[in-house]
Amino acid sequence: MAKNKIKETSSKKQEMVLMQGNEAIALGALAAGVDFFAGYPITPSTEIAEILSEELPKKGGKFIQMEDEIASISAIIGASLAGAKAMTATSGPGFSLMQEGIGFAKMAEVPCVVVNVMRGGPSTGLPTSPSQSDIMQARWGNHGDTPAIVLYPNSVLESYELTIRAFNLAEKYRTCVVLLSDEVLGHMREAVVLPDLEKVKIINRIKPTIPPEWYKHYKNNPKYISPLASYGEGYRFHVTGLAHDERGFPTNRADEIETLMERLKNKILHHIDDLVQIESYMMEDATRAIFAAGISSRAAKEAVNILRKAGRRVGMLRPLTIWPFPDDAVRKYLFDMKTIIVAELNQGQLSRELKRVMGGVWNYSKQKKRKIVELQKNNGEIITPEEIVNLFREVR
């Protein structure tokens, strides 16, 4: 386990440290107040478990290595219901195993964070190489239909920040939030200055204040989210993965099921503005753009810099929130682009969404065709700035 010694983070002046992406995720989790981690080793995410196995006992937090990933997601859901800020970290194969549990956390509305440091797939695939091929799995992986909150940073510092945000959103929206990373991001080292802990905004789940007899932990309200009690604190509530009524009891009544399913959908879709984060880079006067996330967006940014030097009006749009997909932002920034290059390490998962939002290649407002060019790599290598630049020169 090669890593920096973890500093006491309450120090006055934040110093610059050299840090790995996975380390930043572990430290971000600690900053967010994680006090329960259950996991099963898998490359390239293991450092997160290793660091937390060292740090959590020091703070009285709980670390447990489970027998597999199904057990890991199950344990964090159990712990969260007992009041924990709980998390697990894995990669492709383990992420697949966790899907049933992730669906449970969404259905039963149990806050938790699942980190997936993406590696090449399918199957055992490329354990030590990056990919971005779980973008769709993160959205549609569990059976049943309900939206997902999925974040994807592109730097070590952002890995730290978005881990905190993942916890905040999980607590606020009472759901399982997935934080994507990738093998390069997870293992890459960068010099970072972590934000002052006192200035970090932490959101904790709302707990009930009413008498237990009145408590309905799935009651609808204008925000679609009800307070969540913890086991062992006087509210003896029932939790199930079955379709349930306001008190969590199983139901077959269409009206009750519809209320539940609509609420699960609306609590996310009606808070898009709070959830969506994007980065637009040099888009003000751009006529052509690159759309990319995570590790590929770093090549995209560099490509923009190179092309700008050559006088080309090129910009980049990057989603930090992958799901819910930033439909409006994508439309706002990219609709009138003449050419859009979508650069990603998979067979077209982001570009598929982009095309859905754009409604295809016809720009009806300009009565012109736009070019949507897919730059995909699926061989364990990352996309380079030069590849993007060359592609731009080719397609114009």
Partner 1 sequence: MAQIPQKVIHKYLRHEKKFPHVWCPGCSNGIVLGTVIRAIEDLKYERDNIAMVSGIGCSSRMPVYVDFNTLHSLHGRAIAYATGIKMYKPHMKVMVITGDGDSTAIGGNHFIHAARRNIDITVIVINNYIYGMTGGQFSPTTPTGDKATTSPYGNIDSTFDICKLAIGAGATFVARTTAYHAIEAKKYIEKAFEHKGFSVVDIISACPVIYGRLNKKGTPAQMMIDMRDNSLPIAQYEKLSEEEKKFKYPRGIFVQENKPEYTEKYAELVKMFQKPEEQGK
Rounded to the nearest whole angstrom, what is the least distance from the CB of residue 207 to partner 1 in the complex? Answer: 15
Q: Which is nearer to partner 1, 58 or 199 (CB)?
A: 58
- By CB under 8 A, the residues from 330 to 349 that bind partner 1 are none
| Choice from 64, 206, 243, 257 touching partner 1 (CB under 8 A) | 64
Residue 36 contacts partner 1 per CB under 8 A: yes
Residue 242 contacts partner 1 per CB under 8 A: yes
Rounded to the nearest whole angstrom, what is the least distance from the CB of residue 212 to partner 1 in the complex? Answer: 9
Residue 241 contacts partner 1 per CB under 8 A: yes
- Termini Cα distance of the chain: 46
Helices 349-358 and 327-334 pack at an angle, to 10 degrees, of 70
Q: Which is nearer to partner 1, 64 or 306 (CB)?
A: 64
| Choice from 124, 128, 240, 347 touching partner 1 (CB under 8 A) | 240
Residue 40 contacts partner 1 per CB under 8 A: no
Do residues 172 and 35 make contact, with C-beta atoms less than 8 angstroms apart? Answer: no
Q: Residue 191: which of 44, 11, 15, 22 has the closest Cα?
A: 15
How far does Cα 179 stand from its chain's mean position? 3
Give the integer Cα–Cα distance in Å for 324 and 148. Answer: 6
| Choice from 7, 207, 247, 331 touching partner 1 (CB under 8 A) | 247
Do residues 40 and 67 make contact, with C-beta atoms less than 8 angstroms apart? Answer: yes
Sign of CA dihedral 116, 100, 106, 234: negative
Residue 71 contacts partner 1 per CB under 8 A: yes
| Choice from 8, 67, 145, 394 touching partner 1 (CB under 8 A) | 67
Residue 29 contacts partner 1 per CB under 8 A: no
| Choice from 21, 33, 101, 121 touching partner 1 (CB under 8 A) | 101
Determine whether 223 is exposed, middle or buried from the number of CB atoms within 10 Å of its CB (0-12, 13-18, 19+): middle
Number of C-beta neighbours around residue 176 at 10 A: 31
Q: Which is nearer to partner 1, 249 or 362 (CB)?
A: 249
Enter the tokens of residue 146.
Answer: 């309900």
Give the integer Cα–Cα distance in Å for 319 and 126. Answer: 25
Give the integer Cα–Cα distance in Å for 34 and 85. Answer: 5
Residue 234 contacts partner 1 per CB under 8 A: yes
| Choice from 42, 81, 170, 391 touching partner 1 (CB under 8 A) | 81
Give the binding site for partner 1 (CB under 8 A): 35-36, 38, 57-60, 62, 64, 66-68, 70-72, 74-84, 86, 100-101, 104, 231-234, 236-242, 247, 249-250
